[in-house]
Amino acid sequence: MNRFCDFQNDYGHDTYECFNLKTAIEEAVRFGNLSHLIKGIRNPKKQRIEEPLDEEKKPQIDKGIFAIDSYQPYKKRGSSYGITGYEEVFFPALDTIIPSDLPVTISGRIYNKRVHRIYLDEGSACDVMYEHCFAQLNLAIRTHLSPAPTPLRTTIGEPPFSRTKMLKLSIVRSASPHNILLGRVVMQKMRMIVSTIHQLAKFHTSEGIGTLTSTYDR
Protein backbone atom coordinates (compact mmCIF):
# COMPACT_ATOMS: atom_id res chain seq x y z
CA MET A 1 0.00 0.00 0.00
CA ASN A 2 3.04 2.31 0.11
CA ARG A 3 3.29 2.19 -3.73
CA PHE A 4 1.00 4.62 -5.56
CA CYS A 5 0.30 5.11 -9.29
CA ASP A 6 -0.56 8.67 -10.30
CA PHE A 7 -1.86 7.49 -13.71
CA GLN A 8 -4.47 5.10 -12.33
CA ASN A 9 -4.84 6.97 -9.02
CA ASP A 10 -4.57 3.71 -7.10
CA TYR A 11 -2.21 1.75 -4.86
CA GLY A 12 -0.32 -1.43 -5.71
CA HIS A 13 2.47 -0.29 -8.06
CA ASP A 14 4.57 2.78 -8.92
CA THR A 15 3.72 5.11 -11.77
CA TYR A 16 6.86 4.26 -13.74
CA GLU A 17 5.93 0.53 -13.57
CA CYS A 18 2.33 1.06 -14.74
CA PHE A 19 1.65 -1.20 -17.73
CA ASN A 20 -1.49 0.72 -18.71
CA LEU A 21 0.45 4.00 -18.79
CA LYS A 22 3.11 2.47 -21.06
CA THR A 23 0.43 1.14 -23.38
CA ALA A 24 -1.31 4.51 -23.53
CA ILE A 25 1.97 6.28 -24.37
CA GLU A 26 2.82 3.78 -27.11
CA GLU A 27 -0.61 4.21 -28.72
CA ALA A 28 -0.35 8.00 -28.51
CA VAL A 29 3.06 7.89 -30.24
CA ARG A 30 1.83 5.45 -32.89
CA PHE A 31 -1.14 7.66 -33.81
CA GLY A 32 0.92 10.86 -33.80
CA ASN A 33 -0.80 12.46 -30.81
CA LEU A 34 2.58 13.37 -29.28
CA SER A 35 4.18 14.65 -32.48
CA HIS A 36 4.30 18.18 -31.07
CA LEU A 37 6.42 16.92 -28.15
CA ILE A 38 8.71 14.37 -29.79
CA LYS A 39 11.03 15.49 -32.58
CA GLY A 40 10.98 13.49 -35.79
CA ILE A 41 7.47 12.08 -35.36
CA ARG A 42 4.80 13.19 -37.81
CA ASN A 43 1.08 12.89 -37.36
CA PRO A 44 0.03 10.21 -39.87
CA LYS A 45 -3.53 11.57 -40.06
CA LYS A 46 -2.30 15.09 -40.80
CA GLN A 47 0.16 13.71 -43.35
CA ARG A 48 -2.60 11.96 -45.25
CA ILE A 49 -4.54 15.23 -45.47
CA GLU A 50 -1.63 17.44 -46.52
CA GLU A 51 0.06 15.14 -49.03
CA PRO A 52 -1.91 14.89 -52.30
CA LEU A 53 -2.20 11.42 -53.74
CA ASP A 54 -0.63 10.61 -57.07
CA GLU A 55 -3.07 9.64 -59.82
CA GLU A 56 -1.79 6.07 -59.69
CA LYS A 57 -2.29 5.89 -55.91
CA LYS A 58 -5.82 7.28 -55.90
CA PRO A 59 -8.40 4.59 -55.08
CA GLN A 60 -10.42 3.51 -58.06
CA ILE A 61 -14.14 3.94 -57.35
CA ASP A 62 -16.52 1.88 -59.45
CA LYS A 63 -19.68 3.50 -60.75
CA GLY A 64 -21.89 0.72 -59.39
CA ILE A 65 -22.10 -2.83 -58.10
CA PHE A 66 -23.56 -5.14 -60.70
CA ALA A 67 -22.82 -8.60 -59.31
CA ILE A 68 -21.99 -10.48 -56.16
CA ASP A 69 -18.77 -12.42 -56.58
CA SER A 70 -17.67 -15.27 -54.38
CA TYR A 71 -14.62 -17.46 -54.83
CA GLN A 72 -14.68 -20.94 -53.38
CA PRO A 73 -12.55 -24.01 -54.14
CA TYR A 74 -14.47 -26.76 -55.91
CA LYS A 75 -13.70 -30.39 -56.63
CA LYS A 76 -12.99 -31.50 -60.16
CA ARG A 77 -12.46 -34.91 -61.66
CA GLY A 78 -8.92 -35.92 -62.50
CA SER A 79 -7.35 -34.08 -59.59
CA SER A 80 -5.32 -36.06 -57.08
CA TYR A 81 -6.13 -33.50 -54.39
CA GLY A 82 -9.76 -32.85 -55.34
CA ILE A 83 -9.39 -29.04 -55.44
CA THR A 84 -8.00 -27.56 -58.63
CA GLY A 85 -9.02 -23.90 -58.71
CA TYR A 86 -11.68 -21.30 -58.16
CA GLU A 87 -14.94 -20.62 -59.90
CA GLU A 88 -16.89 -17.39 -59.77
CA VAL A 89 -20.46 -17.22 -58.53
CA PHE A 90 -22.58 -14.54 -60.17
CA PHE A 91 -26.02 -13.17 -59.35
CA PRO A 92 -28.11 -11.03 -61.74
CA ALA A 93 -27.46 -7.29 -61.78
CA LEU A 94 -29.60 -5.50 -59.22
CA ASP A 95 -31.01 -3.09 -61.78
CA THR A 96 -32.55 -6.00 -63.71
CA ILE A 97 -34.62 -7.47 -60.85
CA ILE A 98 -37.18 -6.46 -58.25
CA PRO A 99 -35.36 -6.97 -54.91
CA SER A 100 -37.14 -9.28 -52.49
CA ASP A 101 -37.25 -9.42 -48.70
CA LEU A 102 -38.95 -12.83 -48.53
CA PRO A 103 -37.24 -15.80 -46.86
CA VAL A 104 -35.34 -18.13 -49.16
CA THR A 105 -36.75 -21.67 -49.08
CA ILE A 106 -35.70 -24.57 -51.27
CA SER A 107 -36.45 -28.26 -51.67
CA GLY A 108 -34.03 -31.14 -51.19
CA ARG A 109 -33.85 -34.82 -50.42
CA ILE A 110 -33.33 -36.53 -47.08
CA TYR A 111 -32.09 -39.94 -48.19
CA ASN A 112 -34.60 -40.49 -51.03
CA LYS A 113 -37.47 -38.51 -49.50
CA ARG A 114 -38.25 -35.22 -51.24
CA VAL A 115 -38.61 -32.44 -48.65
CA HIS A 116 -40.01 -29.01 -49.46
CA ARG A 117 -39.89 -25.73 -47.54
CA ILE A 118 -36.29 -25.92 -46.36
CA TYR A 119 -35.57 -22.50 -44.89
CA LEU A 120 -32.07 -21.08 -45.48
CA ASP A 121 -31.17 -18.81 -42.57
CA GLU A 122 -27.68 -17.32 -42.85
CA GLY A 123 -27.96 -15.81 -39.37
CA SER A 124 -28.67 -19.09 -37.59
CA ALA A 125 -26.07 -21.28 -35.92
CA CYS A 126 -28.60 -24.13 -35.62
CA ASP A 127 -29.62 -26.79 -38.12
CA VAL A 128 -33.07 -28.15 -37.39
CA MET A 129 -35.58 -30.68 -38.68
CA TYR A 130 -39.04 -30.09 -37.27
CA GLU A 131 -40.84 -33.05 -35.76
CA HIS A 132 -43.75 -33.00 -38.22
CA CYS A 133 -41.21 -33.52 -41.03
CA PHE A 134 -39.29 -36.17 -39.09
CA ALA A 135 -42.54 -38.14 -38.63
CA GLN A 136 -42.92 -38.45 -42.41
CA LEU A 137 -39.55 -40.10 -42.98
CA ASN A 138 -39.34 -43.79 -43.70
CA LEU A 139 -39.94 -45.88 -40.58
CA ALA A 140 -36.65 -47.73 -41.08
CA ILE A 141 -34.82 -44.40 -40.92
CA ARG A 142 -36.72 -43.05 -37.93
CA THR A 143 -36.10 -46.13 -35.80
CA HIS A 144 -32.35 -45.60 -36.05
CA LEU A 145 -32.51 -41.89 -35.19
CA SER A 146 -33.06 -39.98 -31.97
CA PRO A 147 -34.12 -36.42 -31.12
CA ALA A 148 -30.47 -35.55 -30.48
CA PRO A 149 -28.44 -34.11 -33.39
CA THR A 150 -28.12 -36.98 -35.80
CA PRO A 151 -26.52 -37.28 -39.26
CA LEU A 152 -28.94 -37.35 -42.20
CA ARG A 153 -27.88 -37.75 -45.83
CA THR A 154 -29.07 -34.54 -47.44
CA THR A 155 -28.97 -33.67 -51.13
CA ILE A 156 -29.57 -30.30 -52.75
CA GLY A 157 -29.88 -29.66 -56.47
CA GLU A 158 -30.29 -32.15 -59.27
CA PRO A 159 -27.57 -34.15 -61.08
CA PRO A 160 -25.13 -33.21 -62.37
CA PHE A 161 -25.38 -30.01 -60.33
CA SER A 162 -26.09 -31.53 -56.94
CA ARG A 163 -24.32 -31.87 -53.65
CA THR A 164 -24.80 -34.49 -50.92
CA LYS A 165 -23.58 -34.26 -47.33
CA MET A 166 -24.27 -35.96 -44.02
CA LEU A 167 -25.80 -33.13 -41.99
CA LYS A 168 -26.41 -33.21 -38.25
CA LEU A 169 -29.95 -31.94 -37.67
CA SER A 170 -31.66 -31.53 -34.32
CA ILE A 171 -35.24 -32.82 -34.17
CA VAL A 172 -37.43 -30.05 -32.72
CA ARG A 173 -41.12 -30.01 -31.85
CA SER A 174 -42.49 -26.68 -33.08
CA ALA A 175 -45.43 -25.37 -35.10
CA SER A 176 -43.14 -24.00 -37.79
CA PRO A 177 -44.36 -23.48 -41.36
CA HIS A 178 -41.04 -24.94 -42.50
CA ASN A 179 -39.86 -28.54 -42.51
CA ILE A 180 -36.15 -27.88 -42.04
CA LEU A 181 -34.02 -24.88 -41.07
CA LEU A 182 -30.46 -24.79 -42.36
CA GLY A 183 -28.02 -22.28 -40.86
CA ARG A 184 -24.58 -20.99 -41.75
CA VAL A 185 -22.77 -24.19 -40.67
CA VAL A 186 -24.58 -26.22 -43.31
CA MET A 187 -24.11 -23.48 -45.90
CA GLN A 188 -20.36 -23.69 -45.31
CA LYS A 189 -20.41 -27.48 -45.74
CA MET A 190 -22.54 -27.22 -48.87
CA ARG A 191 -20.38 -24.38 -50.25
CA MET A 192 -23.63 -22.46 -50.61
CA ILE A 193 -24.14 -18.72 -51.14
CA VAL A 194 -27.61 -17.29 -50.56
CA SER A 195 -29.00 -13.99 -51.86
CA THR A 196 -32.30 -12.97 -50.31
CA ILE A 197 -32.91 -10.06 -52.66
CA HIS A 198 -32.42 -12.39 -55.66
CA GLN A 199 -34.36 -15.28 -54.07
CA LEU A 200 -31.55 -17.55 -55.21
CA ALA A 201 -29.05 -19.94 -53.67
CA LYS A 202 -25.92 -21.03 -55.53
CA PHE A 203 -23.45 -23.73 -54.60
CA HIS A 204 -20.29 -25.38 -55.90
CA THR A 205 -20.28 -28.88 -57.33
CA SER A 206 -17.71 -31.03 -59.12
CA GLU A 207 -19.39 -30.11 -62.42
CA GLY A 208 -19.74 -26.38 -61.85
CA ILE A 209 -22.16 -24.01 -60.16
CA GLY A 210 -25.61 -25.21 -59.16
CA THR A 211 -28.51 -22.77 -58.81
CA LEU A 212 -31.63 -23.11 -56.64
CA THR A 213 -34.61 -20.78 -56.96
CA SER A 214 -36.61 -20.03 -53.82
CA THR A 215 -39.99 -21.74 -53.64
CA TYR A 216 -41.28 -19.63 -50.75
CA ASP A 217 -44.33 -18.22 -52.53
CA ARG A 218 -45.26 -21.40 -54.38
Q: What is the pLDDT of residues 67-116, one digit of tens each?
A: 434 444 434 443 333 444 557 888 989 888 899 999 999 999 998 889 99
The CATH 2.40.70.10 portion of the chain extends over 95-213
CA 200 centroid distance within chain: 16
Those residues whose C-beta lies under 8 Å from the C-beta of residue 91, and which sit 6 or more positions away, are 67, 68, 195, 198, 200, 202
Considering only residues 28 and 169, tell me which one the structure prediction assigns the higher pLDDT. Answer: 169
pLDDT of 52 reads 54
Average pLDDT over residues 11-36: 70
- Angstrom distance (rounded) from CA 212 to CA 207: 15
pLDDT of 36 reads 59
pLDDT of 8 reads 66
pLDDT of 15 reads 75
Strands 113-120, 128-130: pairing is unpaired
3-class secondary-structure state, position 123:
coil
What's the sign of the alpha-carbon dihedral 145, 146, 150, 153?
A: positive
pLDDT of 31 reads 64
CATH topology of domain 95-213: Cathepsin D, subunit A; domain 1 (2.40.70)
pLDDT of 195 reads 94
Closest CA to 214 of 59, 111, 112, 97: 97
Q: Which of 22-31, 156-165, 175-184 is the least confident region?
A: 22-31
Q: What is the pLDDT of residues 114-172, one digit of tens each?
A: 999 999 998 898 899 998 998 888 888 777 776 566 788 899 999 999 999 999 888 88
- Angstrom distance (rounded) from CA 165 to CA 144: 18
- Phi, psi values for residue 138, rounded to 5°: -55, 140
78 burial level (CB within 10 Å; 0-12, 13-18, 19+): exposed
- Angstrom distance (rounded) from CA 40 to CA 49: 18
Q: What is the pLDDT of residues 38-78, one digit of tens each?
A: 555 555 445 444 455 555 555 554 444 344 344 444 344 43
pLDDT of 142 reads 79
Determine contact, residues 67/81, Cβ cutoff 8 Å: no
Average pLDDT over residues 170-187: 91
